[in-house]
Amino acid sequence: MQTPGLIGGLLGIEEITNKPTKEPGFFDGRHLRLADARSGIWLLVELLSPKNVWMPSFVCKVMIEAVEKAGVPVCHFDLNYDMKLNSLDWIDQVQPNDLVIIVDYMGYPSETDCVNQLREKKAWILDDASQAWPSNVQANIADFTLYSPRKLLGLPDGAVLCFQSNGTLMSDVNLKPPPTDWIMKSLAVVQRRRDFDRWNGTDPWQELFKEVNDTFPLGPYQMSEFSHAMMTHGINFENIAHRRNENYLVLNELLQDIALFPNSGPKMVPLGFPIRVSDRQNLQDHLLNHNISTGVNWNLEGYISDVHEESHRLSKDIMTLPCDQRYSKDDMVYIAETINNHIKQ
């Protein structure tokens, strides 16, 4: 049976269990709890003072803004239409103490071909696992790992910056709480979405979500006590991982031909299921007419140079399907069939 209402879009807040939970590793090792991932990038750049920060040619705008706020230039290395490194030639230009950010897209472990050469260059490596579950990442190859659990758990805020090396950097950091007005609005958004999902609640969340999204804190802001308490006492992580994992398997089987990362492994805990299609807008409209909301991560227009042609081509064709904990295997079959019927037309 298909879930009534809308499939996909913003996550609502999880059912509160109020039982101590074994979280899957977001808080392992030396770490700082932050309001959001962009603040983690900003903070790390402030702490390391690199000459340059390197990141892929396929990133969201806020990652660049975080580095620029710290006053450091951003260089991009080229990713192709498959979201893979085109070459390692760019490493020639990396200098000692530069920070290189690799990304675990949608929770799919990042490529690590560049790591040995970066080590020889004495560059720092940040694994941006903002979209990943801890079991999916290669924290052992990076100096720092950045998580953004709110993206997978429907929390109002919350990111974690882990220090696998250079932990002394943490000692001088002074963080302040996120702005109260912002955190309350962010909490209202995830609560409204949950009411909508569960009881057909009619409070609109979309406009408030836009306001919250446009005003994310960027600076020395810590994770709210509320989100931290939820992660240690409120959330059934096992169930979330299991549902995402099972849903991923269904989509991967039914949408092999258009999956961006087919066969990524049976124990995958994805943020979403990225596909590539021509005439994306048409398909998105069709899906929305069938109550399926999809996302585009990301539209690179205006902030990534046209030199990165293949990244731009990918940006025009990519879209993300929902496969989160709210939905069942039947919902995934419904999504896949709706897509396949449209493509065959």
Q: List residues near ligand PLP by CB under 6 A.
A: 36-38, 60, 62-63, 103, 128, 130-131, 148, 159, 216
Which is closer to ligand PLP, CB of 37 or CB of 251? 37
Separation between Cα atoms, residue 29 and residue 169, nearest integer Å: 14
Name the minimum Å distance from CB 127 to ligand PLP.
10
Name the minimum Å distance from CB 105 to ligand PLP.
7
Which is closer to ligand PLP, CB of 105 or CB of 334? 105
Name the minimum Å distance from CB 248 to ligand PLP.
18
How distant, in Å, are the alpha carbons of 73, 75, 93, 110, 168 from that of 98? 11, 10, 10, 19, 18
Name the minimum Å distance from CB 212 to ligand PLP.
11
Which is closer to ligand PLP, CB of 228 or CB of 339? 228
Name the minimum Å distance from CB 213 to ligand PLP.
8
Which is closer to ligand PLP, CB of 227 or CB of 245? 227
Name the minimum Å distance from CB 38 to ligand PLP.
3
Which is closer to ligand PLP, CB of 65 or CB of 246? 65
Name the minimum Å distance from CB 101 to ligand PLP.
8
Name the minimum Å distance from CB 129 to ligand PLP.
8
Which is closer to ligand PLP, CB of 101 or CB of 255? 101
Cβ neighbourhood burial of 98 (10 Å; 0-12, 13-18, 19+): buried
Which is closer to ligand PLP, CB of 227 or CB of 338? 227
Name the minimum Å distance from CB 148 to ligand PLP.
4
Which is closer to ligand PLP, CB of 14 or CB of 128? 128
What is the four-CA torsion angle of 225, 226, 231, 236, rounded to 10 degrees? 170
Q: Are 317 and 260 in contact (CB under 8 A)?
A: no
Separation between Cα atoms, residue 22 and residue 290, nearest integer Å: 37
Pairing, β 74-77 against β 53-56? parallel
Which is closer to ligand PLP, CB of 103 or CB of 321? 103
